[in-house]
Amino acid sequence: MSYACLIVTAIVVIILLKLVNKIRNLFKIPAVPYLEETWWGPRDKSEEDDSIKPFTINISDEVIEDLQHRLKKARPFIPPLEGIQQQYGLNTNLLNKIVEFWRTEYNWKERETFLNKFPQFVVSVQGLRLHYIHVKPENPEGRKVLPLLLLHGWPGSVREFYDIIPMLTTPRPGCNFVFEVIAPSLPGYGFSEAAVRPGLGAIQAALLFKNLMIKLGFPKFYIQGGDWGAIIIHHMGTLFPEQILGLHSNMCSVNSLKSNIKLFFYSFWPTLLVSPEHVHKIYPRLAKLANLVLETGYMHLQATKPDTVGVALNDSPVGLAAYIIEKFITWTNPAWKELEDGGLTKKYTYTALLDNVMIYWITNSITTSMRLYAETMSAANRTLQVDSIPVTVPTAAARFTYDLTYSPTVLLKEKFQNIVHASDYDAGHFAAFEEPKILSDDIFTAVEKMELFHKNQHSS
């Protein structure tokens, strides 16, 4: 064999060995990373008051007067194209109606009273003063009281939970437990402080909320979330299984190379993966991926240049409303983009939607909320590979037809190894806001199974 052939053979062997090693690493479970308890806040540790303090929303008249001035002086909107409803984003004819309602009928003082209906507090965790709602059952009547951490996402807020909280904290006939709900605003969202230094992504938020619950006196607790809330609780289940009694997610999904390969091969016989009534939620793959691209343009912007777009949204209340409310159309039901009214009042009210927008406006938090995308998708956080580490705590997946992604139970088991409950409902992304009764019923059903799971574990 010639010298040149030996060199070529050696190069090919080296390339093949590297390729085999890379393939092997794809299926290798990474170690659980150590997370440093970073001090995220603006104050020195020695100056920080870590006591729990009651909190009341109290916005000055000047802020509301400034809002009214901006709504009144907003520049005329660009008319929509002929025959277009919400396909290009929020139709400005619809936006005009929403803004007119906001300006003439929406009463902030009444809404402020409404938003203060639940006990609220702030407490410092890792230097950030976190805002949270804390509701205990009034009369558990001898039932077991289970702590439940409830986490929202973007572009939502704790406002999404105002209907579901009473459902979770009210005893149910025939059920031997009831929930004590802790619903915080995510860091940089609403009334929770934002980090002053880079790095606070969803993984770091998982540590933050674990520490919050321990500070509140809950060494073990249940967790529930959708959107960012779901991602954060998935990380909590991965990183802190000793603290987590059970995980209930209404955006339970996997997006690994292995799962995508399986999705491709199952496309030739999809009923081997899911029952016939669910096939349309996964296939055809190209159509599903095209819709995902259509609905996630915002994500690329917020993961790369959140501060730039934040300037515009933080300065214009009508721009902020358009940017946020548009998501409640297509993420609730993509078919609603064909409707003149966007279908908004089928599941929501203008008042409730504007409550959510107002939480972003009065706190100047739209920019800091969007930074969560940039931090979570940073190279530093991706290298931790937390998504590749299995979740062993009992898990429930409540799947909604019109959510952005749908993962069959077979695929979910790659990540979530103890799925005790999986369910499917005909609704959209904002489950707690859109269908609080359905979601609360599912949480009770799931936790009942999780409690049995623990009982069986202890008896074995």
Catalytically active residues are 227, 373, 429
As given in the structure block, the two tokens for residue 170 are: 């009210």
Amino acid identity, position 341: D
DSSP state of 404: S
CA 128 to chain centre: 20
- CA-closest candidate to residue 158, choices 189, 200, 113: 189
Contact 367, 393 (CB under 8 A): no
CA dihedral 141, 148, 408, 404 (to 10 degrees): 120
Helix (H) or strand (E) run with residue 295 in it: helix 285-295
Please state, in angstroms and rounded to a whole number, the distance separating the CA atoms of residues 237 and 227.
16
* Cβ pair 455, 394 in contact under 8 A: no
C-alpha–C-alpha distance, residues 130 and 442, integer Å: 28
Rounded CA separation 447/168 (Å): 12
Angle, helices 317-325 vs 306-315, to 10°: value is 120
Backbone angles phi, psi at 12, to 5 degrees: -60, -45
57: tokens are 């929303």
Instruction: Retrieve residue 67's tokens.
Output: 């809002």
Contact residues for 182 (Cβ-Cβ < 8 A; gap 6+): 132, 133, 134, 147, 148, 149, 150, 212, 213, 216, 218, 221
Contacts of 156 (CB under 8 A, 6+ apart): 227, 356, 430, 433
User: How many whole angstroms separate alpha carbon 194 and alpha carbon 200?
Assistant: 9
Contacts of 336 (CB under 8 A, 6+ apart): 86, 329, 330, 342, 343, 344, 346
Length of the chain measured in residues: 460
* Helices and strands, counts by H and E, the chain: 20, 9
φ/ψ (deg, to 5) at 189: -115, 135
In this structure, which amino acid lies at residue 230? A
Within 105-215, residue ranges assigned H as helices are 108-115, 164-169, 202-215
Residue type, 108: W
